[in-house]
Amino acid sequence: IEDRLMLGLMLIGFIPFMFGMVSMFLLPAFNQDILNGGPDSLGLLMTASGTGAFLGSMILARLGDFGGKGQFMFRASYLWALSLGVLSITTSLDLAVVACALTGLFGTLLGSLHMSVVQLVVKEEFRGRIMSILMMTFGLMPLGMMPMSALAEYIGIDVAFIASAALLAISMVVLDRFYPELKRINKGHGQDA
């Protein structure tokens, strides 16, 4: 079960971020094409996203060592997908700012908690190898960007955002289905039931 748990954690490190981070890369196009905004509105959207990410980090720091980390990761990912979905359908700058803040918040909650859980769950002798594999996540994000960018270019930026949200949610449902032990992660190694 430990090998399955490590594989599941590595997949959570790759798959959701390939789809969820698309919004940050396509945000300038969304701002221009959907919101008809300029540099000021893009600055507001980016600031909102960064503020949400900062709040997500502070929330996790405040929570400390809490139970139900696995369930919390899945809930954060579903809320991340929902906030991306809201962003995809809005044409209002005010609502887009709120959606960007929530996107940053839930994306950071998932990402930061995931890295913490990896540190807690993976045996010490494998930790460095697993962490180095997970660092490749940043290099693999363009794999998710290519089809989403094509969607944005040929169909519409809003369609790319909703597809990104749907793929994020679906990937987490699939991971939950094939790796149910991920939801049972509680505190750390030896306490994951």
- Residues 36-59 have a mean pLDDT of 95
The predicted-structure confidence for 85-135, as pLDDT tens digits, reads as follows: 999 999 999 999 999 999 999 999 999 898 888 888 777 777 777 777 777
For helices 93-121 and 22-33, what crossing angle results, to 10°?
A: 180
The pLDDT value given to residue 126 = 75
- Residues 30-55 have a mean pLDDT of 94
Residue type, 9: L
Report the chain's terminal Cα–Cα distance, integer Å.
Answer: 11
For residue 147, the Cα-to-chain-centroid distance in whole angstroms is 18
Angle, vertex CA 10, rays to CA 159 and CA 74, nearest 5 = 60
Angle, vertex CA 94, rays to CA 88 and CA 99, nearest 5 = 40
* Maximum distance among all Cα pairs of the chain, rounded to whole angstroms: 52
- Say what the pTM is: 0.88
The predicted-structure confidence for 63-92, as pLDDT tens digits, reads as follows: 888 888 989 999 999 999 999 999 999 999
Judge residue 125's burial from the number of C-beta atoms within 10 Å of its C-beta, 0-12 exposed, 13-18 middle, 19 or more buried.
Answer: exposed
The pLDDT value given to residue 78 = 96
The pLDDT value given to residue 192 = 43
